[in-house]
Amino acid sequence: MKIEIPREIERFGAIRFHGLQKVFELDSGLKADSPKNQIGTVKQIPYEDYYEIQKKMAIVVPIRSERLRLLEGVLCGIPHKCLIIMVSNSPRTPIDRFKMEEEALNNFCTFVNKKAIIAHQKDPYLVKAFEKTKYANILNKSGEIRDGKAEGMIIGTILAWLAGKKYIGFVDADNYFPGAIEEYVREYAAGFYLSTSPYSMVRIAWQSKPKIVEEKLFFHKWGRASKNTNWLLNQMLSHYYGFESELIKTGNAGEHAMTIDLAMLLDYSSGYSVEPYHFINLVEKFGGIKESPFPKVMKPGIEVFQIESRNPHLHEVGETEHIDDMSFVAMQVIYHSPICPDKLKKEIYNTMVKRKLLSKNVKPPQPVKFSSLTTIDEKLFFNVIEASSYGKVIKEIRS
């Protein structure tokens, strides 16, 4: 891969936010092809180097009733060395969709000769493990693990951590292009390659997102929800800088990756608010505005990379409602952050009312939050899930 080095860096407390990076070449060859003089603005990341990082990477695929045909393509696009972790929240009746997903994964693994992990979000072993490790906030009133994307991500993160992986990346199961999946994972590795801190995050901005407009494809640069979320996050940062910034381009990025060390430190916010909340929570914890709960991290600091993928993002079309949902929850987490300036709070509130997401004189709702995973005892959690089918695979990987 050939990628430009970040043209802008904005420091915010212990965090370095890097500007959007452009990819020039998907496959730039081996180490032997490195230009002797790598001090230019375009960096070659040889195959061997991203391969070494992918060896230590788990790719989490959250799935909920997506078509198996699409899932198979997604699996095919994940580089061989990555550990695949599927977290499914698909219904088990009247048709057992989860079983079909499990079969599809096992079938794939037989052909490509690798091991993979699949767990259901409602799995009783997981419930018990969360109870034992006192992370019961993730359970609903009926004692099941709550629905939602963030909840699935938490499960995926813990399983990757138990399997001893150093990096964790997320890809959606409904992507039409296996080549795009391969690109995202390579870009995750590229970010970690460029990073100098053990606490790093890589977020993908799609170059475009094709939509059908008047019987033709139109390649939108930014989705409506992304535009709004990025604007709000930039406004918040600008308030503290004193300079207006447009640096944040990946506020809603579902395609993102973290070092496990960072993933364990962040709080999670339920459902689709998880992605913008990661930004907010980073700033809350390491932005230097409030005292950091993890002072040791302040020295190496946090690095956030934003990489513009070359492939357009073409996935199954959801409902239009979804966009408003995403915008609304993003606004909620920014609104309720203790670091959100009053002026921005007012603006968010007015937007919510104007867009009829909220009645006047009502306080904006707040998504459920989950505290960071640092409190979870590794041994205890593993002991509970050891007997499950995925627990057995993790044991094999660890040994």
Interface with its own copies includes 67 (CB under 8 A)? no
CA dist 10 and 179 (Å) reads 32
The DSSP letter of residue 365 is P
Q: Are strands 167-170 and 116-120 parallel, antiparallel or unpaired?
A: unpaired
Q: What one-character DSSP code corresponds to residue 396? A: H
By the rule CB under 8 A, 91 interacts with its own copies: no
Which residue number, 176 or 240, has a Cβ lying nearer to its own copies? 176
Residue 80 engages its own copies in binding (rule: CB under 8 A) = yes
Binds its own copies by CB under 8 A, chosen from 7, 9, 35, 346: 35
- Helices and strands per DSSP (H, E), number in the chain: 13, 15
- Residue from 127, 180, 237, 376 touching its own copies (CB under 8 A): that is 180
SS3 268: strand
Q: Which two tokens stand for residue 52?
A: 């070494």
Residue type, 230: N
* 77 touches its own copies by CB under 8 A: yes
Among 93, 141, 142, 216, binds its own copies (CB under 8 A): 216
Cβ nearer to its own copies, comparing 216 with 363: 216
Window 107 to 136, contacts with its own copies (CB under 8 A): 108, 111-113
Instruction: Write down the least CB distance from residue 53 to its own copies, Å.
Output: 13
Q: Which span (176-184, 242-250, 268-276, 371-379) binds its own copies, by CB under 8 A?
A: 176-184
Binding its own copies (rule: CB under 8 A), the pick from 17, 20, 21, 28 is 28
Task: Quote the least distance from Cβ 206 to its own copies, whole Å.
Answer: 12
Tell whether residue 26 is a contact of its own copies (CB under 8 A): yes
Do 307 and 251 touch, CB atoms closer than 8 A? no
Interacting residue with its own copies among 10, 24, 345, 351 (CB under 8 A): 24
| Interatomic CA distance for residues 283 and 14, integer angstroms | 9
Give how far Cα 44 sits from Cα of 24, 34, 78, 111, 232, Å.
10, 6, 21, 32, 34
CA geometry: angle 281, 394, 256, nearest 5 deg: 30
The single residue among 56, 149, 256, 310 that binds its own copies, judged by CB under 8 A, is 310
Asked whether position 43 contacts its own copies by CB under 8 A, the answer is no
- Rounded to an integer, what distance in angstroms lies between the CA atom of residue 225 and that of residue 273? 12
33 near its own copies, judged by CB under 8 A: yes
CA distance 347 to 98: 43
Please give the Cα distance from 280 to 257 (Å, whole number).
Answer: 16
- Residues forming contacts to its own copies in the complex (CB under 8 A) are 2, 4, 23-30, 33, 35, 42, 44, 47-48, 51, 73, 76-77, 79-81, 108, 111-113, 176-180, 182-183, 210, 212, 215-217, 219, 310-312, 314, 317
